Amino acid sequence: MHTMPSHPSRYRTPSRFTGWLLTLVLVTAPATAQTLPQALEQAWLLHPQALAGSARSAQAAARVEAASGLTPGPATLSLGAASDRFHANQGQREWEVEMAVPLWLPGQKAAQSAEAASGQAQVVAQQHALRLQLAGELRTAWWAVAAARQTRAQAQQRLDTAQALMANVQRRYQAGELARIDANLAQREVLAAQGALADSDAALLQTEQAFRTLTGTAAPVQLDPEPPAVQDAPDQDHPLRAAASAALAQAQARVRSADATRRAAPELALRMVRDRGAAGQPYANTLGVKLTIPLSSEPIVRQAQSAALAELALAQAEHDQVERKLALDADQARRHLDATARQLSQAQERLTLDTDTLQLAEKAFALGETDLTALLRARSDALEAQALVGQQQVALAAARSHMHQTLGVLPK
């Protein structure tokens, strides 16, 4: 099934400003993506979160590198000097150099390495989930343009048939075959059709501008539908499920890291002192080693562990919610797809019936067996039925795209 292509260059509207604005949009449009996957790539290149993705990946990689280091932090260098120059001035001098290195606590390095690795995996999963979310926005904009174009095409057809009818009625009115009221009714229908066309032009412009905002380009002329889904339930690789699982793994790793970090890192220092007691005495060198072990602070430990446990509880609840939502959304999308297919079939049956009724009404009006009001009513029913078929065709294609979205399938 293909949606009806749009031909913006052939728009005919009663408003010169609207027509000029549509022409301006088309003239200034950049290179247009012709398929939904191409449009997704263009939208992804413009998305603010996607632009920051490489920086987040680099940040996560740096955390992994830091967690795999020999020490939990950088070494520190201390320099010191002392003398009696300002009080006794006996020539006493002392210089001190100290190099201190923090040490890993037992199990801390493994815990922090696992936390950093899970954080790196979470960044990747979040990027995939963000891409799926963007695909959903793009699919909505894609089919909004298709629906607006369908409505615009129907409005144009209504105006064309109304103008043809008015010409026929005017001719018969001039010949004395029809009353003036019939000529007025025909003219009124043309005015109503022109108003509907102007409204559809404005709606189409709005949807195409929304598409351009998302992708940076104009919507393609041909809006092709996606193929039917090959599965009926989300699999384990669903981006939202993967992102929730990655967030849960990150929270679990953070709890283990908090358990392994119950105090500040101990510090091992190498100290060298060079000094003399008075002027003329030789300098003496002294080497020393110092180990600093910070004591544990129970309130601080509880604070860190409680924060990690709260994050874990939140991640677990969100993970369970995602699991429930995925199943419900897939079932709802499947039911909506089936209902839309049935509605399209019913709309096609109605169109067949109303088209036959319109043909009979046109023959009766031509023979003078019925009045213009009956013909206009039959014509309105046929146009409405035709519009409904077009709308349901677009709705069916949109329902298929929504099914892909709930299953976590990106446009291909």
Is the pTM higher than 0.95? The answer reads: no
With beta carbons less than 8 A apart as the criterion, state whether 397 and 3 touch.
yes
pLDDT tens-digit map of 266-320: 999 999 988 887 777 888 888 999 898 888 778 888 888 899 999 999 999 999 9
- What six digits make up the tokens of 144? 């909004």
Hey, what's the torsion of the CAs at 395, 401, 403, 404, to 10 degrees? 170
How is residue 191 written in tokens? 């005015």
Name, in order, each residue with C-beta under 8 angstroms of 117's C-beta and a sequence gap of 6 or more: 64, 67, 253
Domain 31-407: what homologous superfamily? Outer membrane efflux proteins (OEP) (1.20.1600.10)
First-residue to last-residue Cα distance in the chain: 17
| Residues facing residue 77 across a β-bridge | 99
pLDDT digits (tens, 9 = 90+) for 138-164: 999 999 999 999 999 999 999 999 999
Q: Which residues contact 164 (CB under 8 A, 6 or more apart)?
A: none
All structural domains of the chain with their residue ranges: 31-407
Q: Which amino acid is at 295?
A: L
5-14 pLDDT tens trace: 333 333 333 3
CA distances in angstroms from 112 to 245, 268, 363, 401, listed in the order given: 19, 20, 84, 42
Q: What percent of the residues of the chain are helix, what percent strand, and what percent coil, each to the nearest 5? A: 65, 10, 25
